[in-house]
Amino acid sequence: MKVSFEGIGESVVTFYNGSSNAAAAGVPVKMSGNGEVSACSDGERFFGVAQSCDADFAAVQTSGYIELKYTGTAPTVGYAKLAANGSDGVKAAETGGEFLVAEVDSTNKILGLML
C-alpha cells in the first residue's frame, strides 16, 4: 500500500500575473497588487505556488499538498517555517510562514508540504 497526499484540500485560484518579476510555473508567489501575484525573492514569505502562467494570468495553488525543491538545511516533518529561496523552491527561515511538512526527501532535496 502506498500513502498519497495528492489532491487533498487542493485549491487553485487565477490571479493577474505581475509585469514586474512575473510568476512562472513551479515558483512560490506573493501578492504584488490588487488581484496580482509575482514571483518571490529570496527570503520572502509565500502564500502559494504558480501552476501555470502566461503574460497576463497565473493559476496559483493556494492550498493542499505540493512538492517543492528546497535549499539549505532540510526541515523536519511537522510544522516548519519556510520562505521562498529566490528561484524555484523554498528554504527554512524564521521569517517565513508556517507549513505542515509531511515528507522530506533529503537525497533529492524535495519537501512535501501542505499549503
Q: Are residues 21 and 34 in the same domain?
A: yes
Per-residue pLDDT of the chain (115 residues; tens, 9 = 90+): 678 888 889 999 999 999 999 999 999 999 999 999 999 999 999 999 999 999 999 999 999 999 999 999 999 999 999 999 998 899 999 989 999 999 999 999 999 999 9
Domain-located, residue 51? yes
Range of the domain at 24: 11-62
Question: Do 60 and 12 touch, CB atoms closer than 8 A?
Answer: yes
In the structure grid, which three cell numbers stand for residue 32, read together? 504584488
* β-bridge pairing 65-71 and 78-84: unpaired
Number of H helices, E strands in the chain: 0, 10
What pLDDT, on a 0 to 100 scale, did the predictor assign at position 1? 60
The number of folded domains in the chain is 2
3-class secondary-structure state, position 92:
strand
What pLDDT, on a 0 to 100 scale, did the predictor assign at position 115? 96
Q: Are residues 58 and 80 in the same domain?
A: no
Distance between CA 28 and CA 63 in Å, rounded?
A: 12
Domain-located, residue 42? yes
